[in-house]
Amino acid sequence: MSLAPAYLAEAAIDALRRGRIVGIAGDGVGLAIVSAELADAAALAALEAHGRAGLIITARRAAVLSLANQRAAAAADAEPVWIERPVWLGLTESRAVADPVLDLATPFKGPFVSRALAGDTAAARAAITLAKQAALLPAVYAVPLAAATPVVTAPATAILDLPATAARVRLTSRARLPLALAENTEVVAFRPDDGGPEHLALVIGDPLSNLARSGPVLVRLHSACLTGDVLGSLKCDCGPQLHTALAVIAAHPGGGILLYLQQEGRGIGLLNKLRAYALQDQGFDTVDANTRLGFEPDERDFSLAAAMLHQLGVTQVELLTNNPLKVAGLAAHGLAVSRVEHSMAPNPHNLAYLGTKRDRQGHML
């Protein structure tokens, strides 16, 4: 029995995240890959049973290493770069190539030899997509598909369709959840069809009544931030944004909805966000930290929030935000959106961070 391509792509994410060998079938010979972040000596030896593996990195990371043109690397779908691995480029040295946090500790790298991807361009792009979907460093070891024995092989076309153009979610449970800042709250849980993490809607007051539904609903999209929301980090404004939004919605006559989305670090995952923090400690701002890691400045999928709101019957929103991408993201998926300012006072630790959001990401602060 053959499995659906979309299922194979999702299975490939899980396998890569577990450090397994994953196959990608493309127009060329195809690729077998292992995560550069998770590979140990045994995993790399298994991948290299019939030949030396190359290292595939993003165009953005390659530009940092002077292996790609910076202007071309900034394109939305820039081609990844294959680095050949001579004997001196072993496991430790390759990890330093993949992880920019190690740049200061290992400043002298190279000389590198890259090769054209030719017919395996789609497979290489799919490899980077898999790593990002698995919240891993976007870098992989790779050999021709026929030279290894992957635990699962997925078509490059199916992987490149991740995430779906429009997310699909299922409302799975709901319960009353009195909060310190909003006692009249119901929590509504959603499970995405792609098998990703669950997301929550905090429905505060009675915004979904027939009377209220005739007008816009006050909404806040909040991406989970463990360091800010739970630990009280001063590096960002996430904790204050969350708590202020809850209080504002609770005080609003019609109530409203806060979507708590598991999109940590603007979609790069908790561990990669902590890597970005380490780069910020080295002097890079939040945008440059993301791009040095090989990610886009914002990797979030706002169709997920739109799908949750549609499930709740919401079609018009007053959005508590200063981020134009959130406004555009919801509007692109059929919601009528107006913006309500949501600014927090800076502190000495996040002043530069807020300036970067304003000056380089267009936040209306």
pTM here? 0.89
Instruction: Assign domain 169-263+300-361 to its CATH architecture.
Output: 3-Layer(aba) Sandwich (3.40)
Cα 115 versus chain centre, distance? 28
SS3 150: coil
- Give the Cα separation of 236 and 60 in Å (integer): 24
Q: What is the pLDDT at residue 48? A: 96
- Check 17, 237, 300, 301 and give the catalytic one: 300
Task: Say how many Å lie between the first and final Cα of the chain, rounded.
Answer: 55
Which of 40, 298, 359, 360 is an active site residue?
Answer: 298
DSSP 146: G
CATH 3.40.50.10990 domain span(s) along the chain: 169-263+300-361
Q: Please name every residue paired with 11 in a beta bridge, in sequence order, or none if there are none.
A: none
Domain at 5-160: CATH code: 3.90.870.10
Cα–Cα distance for residue pair 275/269, rounded to 1 Å: 10
Helix axes of 324-331 and 303-311: crossing angle, nearest 10 degrees: 60
Ranges for all domains in the chain classified under CATH 3.90.870.10: 5-160
In order along the chain (365 residues), what is the average pLDDT of each group of 10 residues? 80 96 92 97 96 94 80 68 92 92 83 87 96 95 96 96 81 97 97 91 86 79 97 95 97 95 95 95 93 91 95 95 94 95 91 88 84
The SS3 assignment for 154 reads: strand
**Exposure pattern of 219-244 as b/e (b: 16+ CB <10 Å)?**
bbbbbbbebbbeeebbbbbbbbbbeb
Residue 253 tokens, joined: 């006559």
Q: Quick check: is 193 catalytic?
A: no
* pLDDT (0 to 100) of residue 113: 87
Determine whether 298 is an active site residue: yes
Instruction: Please list, in sequence order, all residues whose beta carbon lies within 8 angstroms of the beta carbon of residue 363, skipping any fewer than 6 positions away.
Output: 322, 323, 324, 354, 357
DSSP three-state, residue 32:
strand
Nearest to 201 by CA among 174, 168, 163: 174
